[in-house]
Amino acid sequence: MSGTPTSVSAAHRLLVWLYLPTLALSVGQGMIFPAIPKLAEAFQVSAGTAGQVVTAFGAGRMLILLPAGVLVDTLGSRAVLLLGSTLALAGAVAVAASPAFWGVLAGQVLAGAGASLWTLGREAAGLEFVPPERRGRLLSAFFGLQMAGNALGPVAAGLLVDLSGLRPTLWAAAGVALAVWILSAATREQLPAASRGRRAVQLRGALRLLPQAYRAAFVIITFSTFVLTLYRASLNTLLPLYVGTELGYPGTVVGGLFGITSVLILAFILPAGVLLDRLGRKWGAVPACLVPAAAYALMPLARSLPSLAAVAVLFGVAGGLSLGSMSTLSYDVIPEYARGRLQALRRLVGEVGGLVGPFVAGLATDLLSPGTGFLLLSPLLLAAGLLLAFGVPETLPQVRARRLEG
């Protein structure tokens, strides 16, 4: 069924069943952030302790990744979507109802696990609806809507916290999770359940699941995913420290620079997917590494507001081009029966990059300076871009050829 063209009605069902829940789930997940100060007050813990709700969510997301990949390959996307939305709902209810802070943390672990399951399940389901040569648009929309939800959630929660208080805000997030669960449970779309599962269970060694010609490519894509995730996490640390601490600009300037980046990323939701599907996967993946490599090299030279804004534009362009690019490229090289397991492996390596990024950025800042931290990480991004450019074949022609043969 994979790669079957969609009719207009099927596309509409896909929009309701996958795109809208993707946006809604991200909104609900983002609603916890403005509530962190209120959590500290309500449970009489320190602000740093309250902030561990973010760590708990990330821990749940990481811990479930590899099992989630196996479940996608063995149970199919529909079961994984339902399980993911169930865990997300259970986690949101636990956060809203818990009388103790440890219950809030446990709920966040469940919510993170649900988010991982949902993410892998939605992609496996979406790939069953669209032909391979439209994967770029599908996946860039997924990641773009996820980012939009992550931006909208804190805004909505900030208003609710001020107007209604902590508990109503947390229950509102649980209501969003309930809506996602209802959509997942009520869908009537027919998707393969476990047609690929028996083969996947018997295989040993993740890389051995790949065709020989694509093994090196998958390793490079996975390394580049690690580098890009490290870059994004380090940017969230280095940019405020450089602009706010080293240059002495107020917080409004720091927020404005992040705003420029975010607006440009969201503006690329449609163009990024079209680029991947019309020109080639590497047209998005390679610049997604090389552009921030250049921006990191230029950042220590940027000291005025116009120059800082120009570099922020580069960050936004890079982020926009990266929407779905690594996922699309990796789905092209991963065989259908191993999609869940190998995507989970790639994403787990990426999550490690997300943990390493702030640590490396903080260490560089303490030992040297925030500006030097940019310079130290730039060669890593350059290496990832060059490896993608020269070590990974362009997969779009092969995708089109397989489509014609099928």
pLDDT in tens, the chain (406 residues): 444 444 556 556 666 678 888 889 988 888 887 787 888 888 988 877 887 888 888 889 889 988 888 888 888 888 898 999 999 999 999 999 999 999 999 999 999 999 999 988 888 888 877 888 888 888 888 888 888 887 788 778 878 888 888 899 999 999 999 999 998 887 665 555 544 444 444 445 666 777 777 889 999 999 999 999 999 888 888 888 888 888 888 878 888 888 888 888 888 888 998 999 888 899 999 999 999 999 999 999 999 999 999 999 999 999 888 888 899 999 988 888 788 888 888 999 998 888 888 788 888 888 888 888 899 999 999 999 999 999 998 888 765 565 555 5
CATH 1.20.1250.20 in the chain: give the residue spans: 8-189, 208-405
Q: Which of 171, 174, 178, 288 is nearest to 225 (CA)?
A: 288
**3-state SS, residue 198:** helix
Task: Please check whether the domain covering 208-405 is classified as CATH 1.20.1250.20.
Answer: yes
Rounded Cα distance between 340 and 331, Å, is 10
**What's the number of CA atoms in the CB half-sphere (13 Å) around residue 41?**
9
Top CATH class of 8-189 equals: mainly alpha
Q: Which of 28, 39, 33, 153 is nearest to 88 (CA)?
A: 28
Tokens, residue 168: 């109503």
Question: Residues near 162 by Cβ (< 8 Å), separated by ≥ 6?
Answer: none
Directed axis angle between helix 166-186 and helix 36-43, to 10°?
120
Distance, C-alpha 267 to centroid of its chain: 17
Contact in structure between 37 and 50 (CB atoms under 8 Å): yes
